[in-house]
Structures are given as C-alpha cells and as structure tokens.
Structure 1
Amino acid sequence: MVMDNRKGCIKCGSTDADKKDVAMTGTGLSKMFDVQNNQFTVVFCKHCGYSEFYNKNSSTGSNVFDFFFG
C-alpha cells in the first residue's frame, strides 16, 4: 500500500481554502415552513471550488481545515 502524504485540496493541491457556515432546510414540515435546522460548515478550495460539508451539530470543536487538508 502506498501512503500519500500530500497536503492541500484533493482535486487541485492548492492550500488556499476558506470556510463558511450555512443552514439548510430538511424535508417535510421543515421544508414547507422554511425552517433551516440543518447547520453545516463548508470548507472550500479558493482555487478550484471543491467543497466539503461538515455537520456543525456533531462537531467536537476540531479544526475543519485539518480534515480538508488531510
């Protein structure tokens, strides 16, 4: 097995990233009444736009950039 120790975006290798908090509706009544109860942190590559969503409700306070960059 070959280990890949590269850091950066998995699509383009760039290390220029940012994050943004977003909220989304679910299904059923929450969608009907536009209740945005699903909260996520989005980490995205500023070079190519590749994005990963992380559930804020299950976050343990870890740095999401560590997950994005491996």
Structure 2
Amino acid sequence: MREKGCIKCGSRDADTKEVAMTGTGLSKMFDIQKNEFVVVFCKNCGYSEFYNRQSSTGSNILDLFFG
C-alpha cells in the first residue's frame, strides 16, 4: 500500500481555506461573489486544489487531496 500525501512533495501537512469568486457577465460587473470553493493546500510546497463548496465537506475534501 502506498503512503498518501501531497502529490507534489509527499508532505502530509495540509490545511483548507474557503474562497469566493465572481462569475461572468453581470456578477463580474457588480463584483458578486457567487462561486464558493474550499481550497486544500499543502503547507510545505503550496500545491493547491479547489473543490466546489456545495459538493463536499471539509473532512472529505482532505481525504480527496491525499488520494
């Protein structure tokens, strides 16, 4: 069984942040943050993955990041 960790550096030290981004069209023009994501990032090398906030919870997202 292979060890799980960051796919770039192998570190197991990760964290999450929630971010919001504008879409296109009017939401961009009026700076409406309608797209929400959870970002999982490696604290060692900075590799990051974005996950749609509506599709997963925090613990499941960390499991996805570590493969």
| TM more than 0.5 | yes
Which TM-score applies when normalising by structure 1?
Answer: 0.87
Q: Residue by residue, what CA displacement relative to the aligned partner does 1:37-70 show, whole Å, maximum 9, x if unpaired?
A: 00000000000000000001222x3521000001
Q: CA RMSD in A?
A: 1.3
Number of residue pairs aligned between Structure 1 and Structure 2: 66
* Residue 5 of structure 2 corresponds to residue 5 of structure 1: no
- Give the alignment of 1:2-41 within 5 angstroms: 5-41=2-38
Amino acid at match of 1:21: E
Residue among 42, 50, 53 paired with 2:50 = 53
Gaps spanning 5+ residues in structure 1: where? none
Say which one has the larger Rg. Answer: 1
Aligned equivalents of 2:9 and 2:44: distance in 1?
8
- After TM superposition, what 4+ stretches of structure 1 lie above 6 angstroms from structure 2? none
